[in-house]
Amino acid sequence: MPTFVYMTRCDGCGHCVDICPSDIMHIDETYRRAYNIEPNMCWECYSCVKACPQHAIDVRGYADFAPLGHSVRVDRDEKRGTIAWRIKFRNGTEKNFLSPITTKPWGTAIPKLAEAAAPSKAMRDSQLLYNEPKWIRMDEGGLRTLEDAGLKLKKGVYY
Amino acid sequence: MFAYNPFASLSGTLPTGFMQVFVVVMAVLVVLGTLLDIVHKGSARYFFDNWRRSKGRRRQPVGGGGLASIAVKTAVVDVLASGEFCNPRRRVAHLLGMYGFVLYLVATVMMVFNISADAIWPKLWWLGAAMVCVGGYWFWFFIRVDVAAEGRSPWRVMKADLFILSLVASATLALLWAAAGGGAGLLFWLYLLATAVLFGGVPWSKFAHMFFKPAAAFEKRVSHADGTAENLPTQTRDDPEQQQRHSMELLRNAPMDMGLGIKREAPRHY
Amino acid sequence: MAYKTIIEDGIDILVVGAGLGGTGAAWEARFWGQTKKIVIAEKANIDRSGAVAQGLYAINCYMGTRWGENNPEDHVRYARIDLMGLVREDLLFDMARHVDSTVHQFEDWGLPIMKNPKTGRYLREGRWQIMIHGESYKPIVAEAAKKSADKVFNRICVTHLLMDEAKPNRVAGAVGFNVRTGNYHVFKSKTVICGAGGASNIFKPRSTGEGAGRTWYAPWSSASAYGLMINAGAKMTQMENRIVLARFKDGYGPVGAYFLHLKTYTQNGLGEEYESKWWPELQKMVGREYLDPESFHLTHRPIPTCLRNHAMISEMKAGRGPIHMVTMHAFQDPHLEEVGWENFLGMTVGQAVLWAATDVDPKNENPELTTSEPYVMGSHATCSGAWCSGPEDVSPPEYFWGYNRMTTVEGLFGAGDAVGGTPHAFSSGSFTEGRLAAKAACKYIDDGKGEGIVVSDEQIERRRHEIYKPLEHYRVYRNAVVAGTVNPHYINPQQGLDRLQKLMDEYCGGYTVGYMTNEKLLNICLKKLKVMEEDLESLAAKDLHELLRAWELKHRHRAAECVTHHTLFRKETRWPGYYYRGDVMKVDDENWHVLTVSRRDPETGAYTLEKAPCYHLVADEVATGSHAAAQKLSV
């Protein structure tokens, strides 16, 4: 279901151009507004739809197999941390959904590892990664080894 | 210089009605151009078709009073305050260009139709043209989406640039012409040419969008008032009932303001 | 064209491709290299790039060791069974023992993970899968990568890795072009962690119009992980192990939550259970060790994905299609109905759109399933990728050469799809692999292995010329015709892609031929790919966007060639349901219980293929007591 842009809503802000993972949202040369230049490379990921501040982008299911008359629209609200969907079937059936997209204010709970305490030599020589072993089981245990598991790697046919 | 009506400098060289006829012709070109755009492209038919169809889908009625108040809101917020722009820089640039253009236009008409118009009018004319230039050049070099977000060269010109370029050219040449003392020399004719392209280019440029956009803004507001909301979802976390949804469990104790994530930065990541 | 050359020098760790693998690498690298220069080069925009662009509704690789739910070795056995025995068990064990710390960090960062209301634990979808509201999964992990990296270069299509001229087979960085400005970017780095994408669109897709965009795996997964590494001379493994997926028809919407959480099941067009009727015949093909339905109720051993595909494919071919997912019962429960829809909205919106368009309500009908075209990648129920070293404390000598997740090219590391032999990693496992690669890359640098790199201006100029060639070629030869896309002097990227897809489909086991191929067909395939390689020198790009597509095609082509070599080399049908060797229609453990490893010589273009031993985790007693089993080596 490739994307398309409503003429009366797009004001040429560029958010969709900036976010599209497929590099297919570009600016039309006659209207200076956005449009999908390569629908057959559109994954319908909705990144542009969600990014558009004017809700100017919508999706029409792939012409290969999707009949007309449907609508799946979204409102991604970063401030509220939610995403709302409204699905309208061709036959008029409607479904609404609302769910969280983050549980904490954006970016606030991610530490800057440059400021973390530097790893000791023991930690460097070990197989541990940052925040380990504590964060593996949230306990005081160590990293699992083959010895812990009572196993050995053996060449050959085993099932 | 700013109190002097630059059009007065033409009285010696050009016949008296020349500029007045020019102004009227420009106005007619705009009207004809817009009508041509609407009729030939069928955009009016599309607009009213759409209006009729969404009327049929209305969830709740929007009476005459409702429509009137929406019209006022559209006029005040969307038109006069360029409220649809959510990006502050774009909004300011647009306001500068829009009010600059209005001032410049009105002042031109006042001075062309009355050679001894009050001294305020030339001042407003200079101010208006200058505002158009500030907003216009700012937009042209820095804000234009094909330059800012798409990474194109600011010197690249495409069809969509017809309006902004002719507008900025008209205002720039106007200022240069007036600063050079006026008269009917090369600068004057270039100024007239740019202005003719601006007003005559309506069928090919985005000029007519200044009439379409308010209509679209009105239609958008009506859609949200009548419950169809352009098919967009209307349930939000602000609604206590929605907060109780099973899927919203994880947000029960989270702050209502999560700040900005992707939207924190301007859309030019390259 | 007057494009600038922009050189970024002195990089310690260059992360190429910032998907889940790359973001993991960039994030972790900062901890082990607090003063190191970490740079990311990403083809699109890190906030939404990669396969997780639209989000995920489940994390499919989580052990739950904190609650005693699983042990890492259990996951290894699961992956081994699913891949018909052939995986890198050292890499898998390593990934599985670390992945939980990755997931716990995601939750701490704000990723909404659903909880089981009774136990308070993460809500399990299945034994390995937990359910999340992951629409913003990518922006959240991108934020972490951005906090660690010194610089993030978005919209850089990395086309080649730079190679050291002082020491052979050592990486020196990468080059590419900026998709927006067109400028030539050169990254000089001591190490490169390749987190680029696997391969979608190298086989003809079922939908060929607009619908070609509705691939199961993202269309921007252009095999660049493979293209970059193969061209650098890295050894690749299991490239024949392409994956075919049974998903909702046309939309390719996910079925995991349906099977596991909603407890839906499949039926043929007549409303019958159909899988079991194919097991006897299949068992003759693969052996009781891989398929023993009689003992299911005892062992609860899962049936490998490919074998279930085989049953579906066979049933449809027998004329009893379409295959349906029986949803009507489950969807009567409003909570399960919500899960069923949100499963798509948070992961594959296209499926929801399709159902809305076709008035399909799973409450009232059972939607169709089908098998997809083949994909080649390394983090799902398949494990193609680079041949990498494992962790020192786990890997046997054949699997270890100094640094975890390092390929056979020194200084070149992989994460996610780029690493071969680690299926079932999914998002969390890929991020974890990135973390492992980052630590190892820092160690590599601290050990002084990245010293004395020499990159000549000649190499940089040569690559520059190569990169822009399609633009120049178009500019000149466009003059030959009036207008249009047909020109005897060149092909454009879309034409090239159509050709590659048709060729791979017909000769290398695509869906139109029932995933069937044989030695003769594969040899024809190689010949045609060689001719195509010549024509790729006449690729034409009219603008920067087409130039991007041109290089994606080149990477796809290279990967396709490698896939074909591997498919030819492995003389057996190890994964019926993924593909079939019509000339060897059985599993051959005696000769082929091995991993295939290839290397393309960067100078000559010639491929050498070899067998690498397959090691398995076995209980200590068995290992020491059964020498007879050890005799069954095939190396």
**pLDDT tens column, A116-138:** 999 999 999 999 999 999 999 99
Tell me the shortest Cα–Cα distance from A9 to chain C, in angstroms: 22
pLDDT greater than 50 at residue B90: yes
- Residue B91: band (very low, low, confident or very high) from pLDDT cuts 50, 70, 90: very high
Q: Do A32 and B238 touch (CB under 8 A)?
A: no
Tell me the shortest Cα–Cα distance from C383 to chain B, in angstroms: 32
How far is C18 from C152, CA to CA, in rounded Å? 9
Q: Do A14 and B149 touch (CB under 8 A)?
A: yes
Torsion (CA) B55, B56, B58, B64 in degrees, nearest 10: 40
Q: Looking at residue B42, what is its pLDDT?
A: 87
CA-based radius of gyration for chain B: 23
pLDDT greater than 70 at residue C567: yes
Q: Looking at residue C300, what is its pLDDT?
A: 79
* CB-based contact, C603 to chain A, within 8 Å: no
Q: Looking at residue B62, what is its pLDDT?
A: 84
- Residue B52: band (very low, low, confident or very high) from pLDDT cuts 50, 70, 90: confident
Tell me the shortest Cα–Cα distance from C84 to chain A, in angstroms: 9
Q: Do C45 and A20 touch (CB under 8 A)?
A: yes
Nearest CA in chain C to B153: C181
Least confident residue range of C26-35, C247-256, C298-307, C504-513: C298-307
Quick one: which of C414, C6, C418, C23 has its CA closest to C177?
C6
pLDDT greater than 80 at residue C8: yes
How far is C231 from C226, CA to CA, in rounded Å? 8
pLDDT greater than 60 at residue C537: yes
Q: Which of A9, A13, A32 sits opposite B267 (nearest CB)?
A: A13
Average pLDDT over residues B20-33: 95
Nearest CA in chain B to C111: B250
Subunits with 3+ Cβ pairs within 8 Å of A are: B, C
Subunits with 3+ Cβ pairs within 8 Å of C are: A, B
- 8 A C-beta contact, residue C471 and residue C547: yes
Q: Do A2 and C210 touch (CB under 8 A)?
A: yes
List A43, A85, A106, A135, catalytic entry:
A43
pLDDT greater than 90 at residue C406: yes
Average pLDDT over residues C590-609: 98
pLDDT greater than 80 at residue C73: yes
- How many residues does this entry show for chain B? 270
Tokens, residue C76: 């290894």
- Residue C1: band (very low, low, confident or very high) from pLDDT cuts 50, 70, 90: low
* CB-based contact, B262 to chain C, within 8 Å: yes
Q: Which residue has the higher pLDDT, B154 or C597?
A: C597
Tell me the shortest Cα–Cα distance from B269 to chain C, in angstroms: 6
- Residue C624: band (very low, low, confident or very high) from pLDDT cuts 50, 70, 90: very low
- Cβ burial, residue B270 (10 Å; 0-12/13-18/19+): middle
Mutate to test the interface with C, among A104, A128, A130, A139 (most CBs of C within 10 A): A130
* CB-based contact, B49 to chain C, within 8 Å: no
Nearest CA in chain A to B242: A98
**pLDDT tens column, C456-476:** 999 999 999 999 999 999 999
Consecutive H or E run containing B175: helix B162-179
Least confident residue range of B205-219, C348-362, C474-488: B205-219
Average pLDDT over residues B34-58: 86
**Percent share of chain C, pLDDT over 70:** 97
Backbone angles phi, psi at B34, to 5 degrees: -65, -45
**In A, which residues are within 8 Å of C105 by CB distance?**
131, 135
pLDDT greater than 60 at residue C623: no
Q: Looking at residue A88, what is its pLDDT?
A: 97
Q: Do B151 and C136 touch (CB under 8 A)?
A: no
On whether the pTM is more than 0.80, the answer is yes
* A135 counts as catalytic: no
- Residue C621: band (very low, low, confident or very high) from pLDDT cuts 50, 70, 90: low
Mean pLDDT across chain C: 95
Quick one: which of C559, C467, C432, C364 has its CA closest to C60?
C432
Average pLDDT over residues B196-203: 94
- Residue B172: band (very low, low, confident or very high) from pLDDT cuts 50, 70, 90: very high
**Percent share of chain C, pLDDT over 90:** 95
Q: Which residue has the higher pLDDT, A8 or C546?
A: C546
Q: Which residue has the higher pLDDT, C634 or C346?
A: C346
Nearest CA in chain C to B260: C139
Average pLDDT over residues C173-177: 98
Average pLDDT over residues C105-130: 96
C-alpha pair distances (Å), C292 with each of C272, C288, C295, C312: 21, 5, 6, 18
Average pLDDT over residues C435-463: 98
pLDDT under 70: residue ranges of chain A:
1
Q: Looking at residue A1, what is its pLDDT?
A: 53
**pLDDT tens column, B213-270:** 899 999 999 999 988 999 999 999 999 999 999 999 999 999 999 999 999 999 999 9
Q: What is this model's ipTM? A: 0.97
Torsion (CA) B174, B175, B177, B182 in degrees, nearest 10: 100
Nearest CA in chain B to C342: B247
- Cβ burial, residue C166 (10 Å; 0-12/13-18/19+): exposed
Secondary structure class of A3 (helix, strand, coil) = strand
